[in-house]
Amino acid sequence: MYVCSCFGITEQQVKQHAEDGACTPRQIASACKAGTDCGSCVRRIQSLLGRGACPRRELADQGRPALTALDEAA
């Protein structure tokens, strides 16, 4: 099922980007442009992301640089 009809992004693609580390709608947008045109899919993206464990969110909550820490660990 399509989440973003502007760019043809499916639920499965959003879930895959989330598994790859995109934890927020903004990070999903950076990965595939979903949510960057009309914006009507942003709430659906938020619901797909939910409130699950997210290493980047956990680092950000601790006040640590999320992108740098994960990129160095990889």
Q: How far apart are CA 65 and CA 49, in angstroms?
A: 21
Confidence of residue 19 (pLDDT cuts 50, 70, 90): confident
pTM tops 0.85, yes or no:
no
Question: Collapsing DSSP states into helix, strand and coil, what is residue 4?
Answer: strand
Alpha-carbon distances, residue 34 vs 9, 13, 27, 68 (angstroms): 6, 10, 10, 24
Q: Which two tokens stand for residue 11?
A: 């639920």
The confidence band for 70, taking pLDDT boundaries of 50, 70 and 90, is: very low
- The string of pLDDT tens digits covering residues 31-53 is 999 999 999 999 999 999 886 65
